[in-house]
Amino acid sequence: MSQHSPQPSPDGSASEPENRPTPPPARPRRSVGAILWFIWMVGMWLAFFAVLFADQLDEIWSSIRDLPLIAEIVLWIAFLPWMLGMAVWTSSWDTWIRLVLVVTFAVGWTVVSIPRRTSKAKPR
């Protein structure tokens, strides 16, 4: 362990090191990607409900179901929450069950997508 000797001041005399208060730790930041993902998620759910209220969801679902299987699989992978919502909404279940499920999907995926603050890894 080394001990610090007093540092000479500009006028040549020795002085004790200054005891400066340490600054508060920097607040973790939200990444741009996380913010963009959240905007995408909210925007897609808004579009989903706009199409639902415009009574065009059945047409879109039929168009997707008419695609070749590989294209439909790609859409399911790329747009899982909304595809799941369309599958539920176009099912023959009672309206209240479909509504509860679709709203649960929308709220659940949106809440999970809220950007969290990330902290940088501390060096060891």
The pLDDT profile of the chain, 124 residues, written as one tens digit per residue, is 555 555 655 666 555 556 777 777 666 677 888 889 899 999 999 999 999 999 999 999 999 999 999 999 999 999 999 999 999 999 999 999 999 999 999 999 999 888 887 666 555 5
Distances (CA, A) of 32 to 13, 36, 98, 110: 51, 6, 34, 17
d(CA 115, CA 35): 6
Indicate the domain borders of the chain. Answer: 32-112
Helix (H) or strand (E) run with residue 15 in it: strand 14-15
Q: What pTM was estimated for this model as a whole?
A: 0.66
Q: Hey, is 14 helix, strand or coil?
A: strand
d(CA 103, CA 45): 10
What six digits make up the tokens of 93? Answer: 């279940």
